Amino acid sequence: MSDNTAQAEPELIQLLTPDGELRQHPDYPLEIDAQQLRELYRDLVLVRRIDTEAVALQRQGELGLWASLLGQEAAQVGSGRALHPNDVAFPSYREHGVAWCFGIDPVQLLGVFRGVTNGGWDPNEHGLQLYTIVIGSQTLHATGYAMGVQRDGALGEDGTAVISYFGDGATSQGDTSEAFNFAAVNNAPVVFFCQNNQWAISEPLERQSRVPLCQRASGFGFPGVRIDGNDVLASLAVTRAALRNAREGQGPMLIEAFTYRMGAHTTNDDPTRYRASAELEEWQNKDPISRLRTYLVNEQIADDAFLSEVEAEADQLGERLRTQCRQLPDPEPLDIFHEVYAEPNSHIDRQRADFADYLASFEDVGTEGVR
């Protein structure tokens, strides 16, 4: 990068250091008790186990694909636990930790990547919208939803805030810039949560942006901050404040969670072909689970019995996921036309009828044989 375009690095908001030391931040005080800290640790361990099991299931041919969150657990769990029951989240396809916080059964996530469901859960029931594969498009969906919340007058202390999750690669998409602009000029109650995991598949961050990502917000007229994305407490405190501000009518905010994708982009990817092992080792020393465990043990908030209990629960969860994933039923072929639109649609009805006729043409094979 040339000197005339180099930008000063923004402050990294951090409450829990990689060595497990707790700090206070004047702008983001965090009130949290021992039980809540233990629950956060449990979340992190179980979410990582979900991810580990899913990768293994894909390698065994039980899933078509899996997008690992390894290394990003703290960013997702911290922000997910900051949400209120009325809040609504718009994820990409890697927010398994956020889904966990919303109470989504991880078997439903596996169903999506096994290809046996078109969605996996009811967004109206959980407040978590469906996974989005198109990069960055969910930022516009979130902004539009937030503008609707605003026009419905559903703000205030018990109102609704909206959060959109996306990665650093999505910031290069026009959709994201349009969402930023719409959110700014409408003062929409939306929080943009960017997990900067350093890599857009094989493209490093320095080839994606000439400025720190959080500073892009200022160009659109709203605040942006960078947090330590491997610090679950910073993620919780800053997201909690951003959501509160949104509910109070103070408009959008961008949170850049500075983290690292310790696994592959997806199970179709081989990161050893484009990044150095030393880089991975550096970030492994900043592991989000290790630092919280160190703090809990040093402060005598957690003992060996608690840690063993969480590990045992993770083992039970892993066993359930392996069993129930393999038991997921195949859908009926015509199910693909269900719930495409909320209301009846003549084009979909015609396509369904044509496909039904096609299936019926296999007189000797039958519907089961052409799946």
Residues 230 and 261 sit within 8 Å (Cβ to Cβ): no
Per the annotation, the verdict on 261 as an active-site residue is yes
Per the annotation, the verdict on 265 as an active-site residue is yes
Residues 85 and 242 sit within 8 Å (Cβ to Cβ): no
Q: Which of 48, 49, 81, 261 is catalytic?
A: 261
Q: Single out the residue of 186, 205, 209 nearest to residue 197, CA to CA.
A: 205
Per the annotation, the verdict on 341 as an active-site residue is no
Residues paired with residue 196 on neighbouring β-strands, in sequence order: 258
**Complete DSSP assignment for 94-158:** --HHHHHHTT--HHHHHHHHHTS-SSSS-HHHHSBPPP--STTHHHHHHHHHHHHHHHTT--STT
Residues 256 and 226 sit within 8 Å (Cβ to Cβ): yes
Q: Which of 274, 326, 338, 350 is catalytic?
A: 274
The Cα 38–Cα 32 span in angstroms is 10
Q: Which of 49, 216, 265, 291 is catalytic?
A: 265
Q: Per residue, what are the HEC states of 173-186?
A: CHHHHHHHHHHHHH
User: Catalytic positions, please?
Assistant: 261, 265, 274
